[in-house]
Amino acid sequence: MKKVTLFLFATMTLTLANSCSKDSDETTSSTTEAVVIDVESANFLSAGLSEPITIVSKTLSNGKTVDCYKIVVTSLATDHDMGPWCPGNISDDATQGGIWLEGGEVYDVDGAFVKNLATFYKDTQWMMYNATTGAITKTSTKEECAGAAIPDVGTAYKNYCVQCLPSYLGTLSTTYYLPVTPVAASSVISFGGAGPQSTGPSSRGIAFNGVVFDAPAPTSNILAAYTLAPFDDAGGHINLNAGYHYHAAMGKTTQIAQADGHAAMIGYAFDGYGMFQNLNPTTGLAYTDLDASLGHYDDIRGYHYHVDYAGKNNFINSLHGEYVK
């Protein structure tokens, strides 16, 4: 059963009675949230776990020690197919390839898209197929994946469609920690890699299948090398070190429907606050009252996020709460 932690507050500085914290003096003035929803470990699919979820004590970014869930995952999706990514020929339709994110839009990477890259990017150096046979040039081995799926792609892989397959990974496990009860930060926490003021993690959160919602894909680096590293129709692709991971929420992962018609829940950010789909299913429109982090509050779900449009190559903009360093 979902546990709801209630907080009483007045006009003075809010005192958080965090039942999962080992510190009794934790305070914050960052929020007047009356309801905080604990992370539900039962929401995670057992098929995506390398071992059962346990509770351990960890230090948050504010220096406080709290109970956290230790979640060890396989970094492979178990609730939907992974791939395909690169079509084989310029005659292939959209079922043979994945998607690409550009300018806030989602494009099918079918044969026609690959054939049209020079026009799409207004650069005649794009030529990712054999003009005689129509065969698309793409990585086809683990070694080629390792050489092409890196930020600094060499000239050997110029005009390659890059795809790494699940079979290349072998046995892989990744460990994540989520505070059992989210703790609001005194100010928003920016993500790592965003500049000198960034203090938070690089990845954004985790889906119920155990796959990470990752930082924006470095598309400028990919395109600068005249490579294309498509995502599959679920918004994910594979890196040999990180495993399978998402760069867009495409509605393919496990969701938890909301009885009041609110957007469905799709996972948790690394501060423990829930992540929900982008659109209001009743109106078909995006929520208009989101803060700079892409979150808002209600009395059913407490504070929570709504992920960005899939084409934006983004999930959320910053963390509202403390995270495990």
pLDDT at 33: 86
The beta-strand segments (E) located in 226-299 are 227-228, 236-239, 243-246, 265-269, 274-276, 295-298
Q: Is the predicted pLDDT of residue 8 greater than 60, yes or no?
A: no
> What is the Cα–Cα distance from 227 to 247, expressed in whole angstroms?
17
Strand partners, 73: 49, 174
Angle at 122 between CA 119 and CA 123, to 5 degrees: 100
User: Which candidate, 169, 168, 163, 166, places its Cα nearest to that of 98?
Assistant: 163
Share of residues in the chain with pLDDT > 90 (%): 81
pLDDT at 217: 93
User: For residues 168-206, b (16+ Cβ closer than 10 Å) or e, as one string?
Assistant: bbeebebebbbbbbbbbbeebbbbeeeeeeebbbebbbb
pLDDT at 44: 98
Compute the CA torsion angle 281, 282, 288, 290 (nearest 10 deg): -50
pLDDT at 150: 79
User: How far is the CA of 254 from the CAs of 186, 200, 251, in angstroms?
Assistant: 32, 26, 8
Name the pTM for this structure.
0.88
Neighbouring CB atoms inside 10 A of 222's CB total 20
Residue with tokens 């197919």: 81
Q: Could you tell me the pLDDT band of residue 14, with boundaries at 50, 70 and 90?
A: very low
Q: Could you tell me the pLDDT band of residue 193, with boundaries at 50, 70 and 90?
A: low
pLDDT at 109: 98
> What is the Cα–Cα distance from 86 to 88, expressed in whole angstroms?
6
CA 112 from centroid of its chain's CA atoms: 28
Stated as kind and residue range, the H or E segment containing 120 is helix 117-120
